[in-house]
Each structure stands twice: as C-alpha cells, then as structure tokens.
Amino acid sequence: MKVLTIGIASLVLGFANVATAGDAAAGKEKSAACVACHGADGIATQPIYPNLKGQQEEYLVLATTAYRDGARGNDMMKMFAMSLSDADIENLAAYYSSL
C-alpha cells in the first residue's frame, strides 16, 4: 500500500510540474482539424465531445499528449494527435485556454 501511495504521489507531482509556453496564435492556425468536433470557438459541436474553450493549458497538454502516446484511449483522438509535435500540442493548449 505504501508503494502505491508513493507511486501515485510521484505521478501527481510530475503532472503538477508540467510547464507550457505555447503560442496561442500558432495554436489557432493549427486548430482547423479540431473544429469539426470541438467547434470553431472551442465549444463542442455535439454533447459527446468536450468543450476546450477556457480549459487549463496544462491539462490540455497532458491530455493531448496522452492521446498521442496511447496512454489515454480514444481511437479518433489518437488519430488526430499522432501528427502533433510537442510544440503543436503546447500551441493548441495555449490557444484553447486563452478563449
């Protein structure tokens, strides 16, 4: 139990230290593929998709990276995220969090 607690604490602290320095303007340019599901203004087009507008930048980086790297399961998101570099993800996160 102690090992599990230490492992979870390390994971949480690792996520808490994610630093982002994305370029919102570059993210807006890159967001064309996101619009079909997440809307032009970051408000989802269907209730099954999450709104991205105003989400925390760090959360968006972590979630999108997890989709890209297969740590978070969603075949459609993985397909889109696979083509994104770390910089692309940071820029998209900066854009959506700025809305």
pLDDT tens for each residue of 56-88: 999 999 999 999 999 999 999 999 999 999 999
Q: What are 4-25's pLDDT values in tens digits?
A: 445 454 455 555 555 568 999 9
Question: Domain 21-98 belongs to what topology?
Answer: Cytochrome Bc1 Complex; Chain D, domain 2 (1.10.760)
State the pTM of this model.
Answer: 0.79
- Whether 91 and 22 have beta carbons less than 8 Å apart is answered as yes
- Mind giving me the DSSP string for 21-90? ---HHHHHHHGGGTHHHH-TTS--SSTTSPP-TT--HHHHHHHHHHHHHTSS--HHHHHHHTT--HHHHH
